[in-house]
Amino acid sequence: MRKAAKQILLGAAALAVLCIACRIAVFNRFCIYYFLPENGWEDIPVRVEKPEMLSLGAPERSGRYLHFPVRPLAPGETEILFGDEAGGAVTVCVLRVDGTGTVYDLGSGNFTGDSAVLIAVTLFWLLMSAVMLWHFFQAKGPLFYDYGTIYYSGFSLFALASGLVMLSVTVSHLAHPEAYSMYSAYAAISGASARYMLLTALPMLLFAASMAVSNLFLVRHEGCRAQNVLGLLVSGLLIAGEALGWYLISRDFMGSEWEGRIDRTLQNTYATVFVYFQCMLTGAVICGVRAAKHWPDPDKRFIIIHGCWFRGDGTLPPLLRVRADRALEFWRVQKEKTGREAVFIPSGGQGANEPMAEAEAIRRYLLARGVEDRLVLPEDRSVNTYENLAFSKALMQAVDPEGKAAFSTSSYHVFRSGVWARQAGLNAEGIGSRTKWWFWPNAFMRETAGLLLKRWKQELLFLVLLTVFFGCLSMVLW
């Protein structure tokens, strides 16, 4: 994450320098625009209230607009009056000139060099997306199991969508600055979260609906227990959140300018909070699916098998059996390709209602499948996934400190196990075993919640920073 953040900050600094250079060398001309009436007359009286501040050049016609080049002379604020005051038909344009010679149109939001700023902002969003996507695809092997890959995959899509929207706004402003003012650009920048929320509403609702269906099947097969309804809760929150966001963004508003700023800030703040969790959920799903489908390189010295509950007679239930079978499959493929015989490490201690350690039950299953006893090194003290990996590492250190490892667990559990493996200092990659389709979504939601809760302080800080950033933008760029 730090490397990506440094690259994004360096890119932002380079774009800022480029923006200033382009403002000085290319985008140093400013025009105001007057919309011609239907009769198309162009010979209208134009008066500058404070001619010592700025002067207007000869107008140029473009369609139904007249373009008046503006030459700044001194700092200050003045009005430009179009039309005959005696006739009562007067259009007023308020301009401000600062100490750098930059002209601001208070009516449209346009200013000298605004095109350079829009280009820089667009490139920044696209650069952010490109950097995060590059780091996501570069994260391979054990390096993939990191919270950073969740951010890269989830927020790169948000940055890409925002960059494409800004690209459309920038092109429109460059082509027709009179019709597409900077206020439309300000709305696109400050409302990036709200726009992304609306753009992704349909896939999120479809995801929520499919997750609800899978959870209904889960409840039907395993009963209505607390851990079996998490997916239903998340589905309900997603649907309710999308509905509330749509209401806040699309409702009509009547009020003063400051009331409008507050209303827009509330909209964008809500959208930012929702989109933050949406991006984290999206990133976790992408990482979880990629981790579950990954097949490690055939260079492993050890294969860890994560234990779980087993039957009272010592036989393995389907969930644990497929983990062992998946480990055996990898072991055989690696031996065929390289001749290397990896050592199995069945991992798991003895629960209160279990006749033996989980590791022992898995060991017996492996022996029954033809594995030699010399290739099985049980770890029978652990009581959770982290201890599975940490205690297995201690056994590996005694045999081959440099040996690489693979761990076999349920598909929904691979990414989270990989994160814990890195925290335990273990050089390992995961192998995902299949689970019932109706079991996977709810279990994966539990894994995602576990990942985020483990870092709730960091996540809360990041969320607050994002919310404050977009909230301030909404108050300023209204």
**Cα dihedral 450, 455, 460, 465 in deg (nearest 10):** -130
For the chain, state the CA radius of gyration: 31
Query: Terminal CA-to-CA distance of the chain, rounded, Å?
Result: 32
Measured between alpha carbons, how far is 472 from 467 in angstroms, rounded to an integer? 8
Residue 402 clears pLDDT 80, i.e. is over it: yes
Q: What is the mean pLDDT of residues 353-364?
A: 90
pLDDT (0 to 100) of residue 457: 82
Class of domain 302-441: alpha beta
Measured between alpha carbons, how far is 232 from 446 in angstroms, rounded to an integer? 12
Q: What is the CATH number of domain 29-105?
A: 2.60.40
Query: 311 pLDDT band (50/70/90 cuts)?
Result: confident
Q: What is the mean pLDDT of residues 425-442?
A: 84
Which amino acid, 306?
A: H
Q: Which residue has the tokens 């890119």?
A: 11
pLDDT (0 to 100) of residue 332: 96
Q: Which of 38-42, 49-53, 89-93 has the lowest mean pLDDT?
A: 38-42
- Which residues does 129 contact at the CB level (< 8 Å), separation at least 6? 156, 157, 159, 160, 163
- Of 135, 412, 464, 443, which is closest to residue 276 (Cα–Cα)? 464
| pTM across the whole model | 0.85
Residue 130 clears pLDDT 90, i.e. is over it: yes
Measured between alpha carbons, how far is 283 from 157 in angstroms, rounded to an integer? 9
pLDDT (0 to 100) of residue 255: 65
pLDDT (0 to 100) of residue 418: 93
Measured between alpha carbons, how far is 474 from 455 in angstroms, rounded to an integer? 29
Residue ranges, CATH 3.40.50.620, the chain: 302-441
Residue 464 clears pLDDT 80, i.e. is over it: yes
Contact yes or no for 104/98 (Cβ under 8 A)? yes
Q: Which residue has the tokens 């959770």?
A: 384
Q: What is the mean pLDDT of residues 356-374?
A: 93
Contact yes or no for 283/152 (Cβ under 8 A)? yes
Measured between alpha carbons, how far is 90 from 165 in angstroms, rounded to an integer? 36
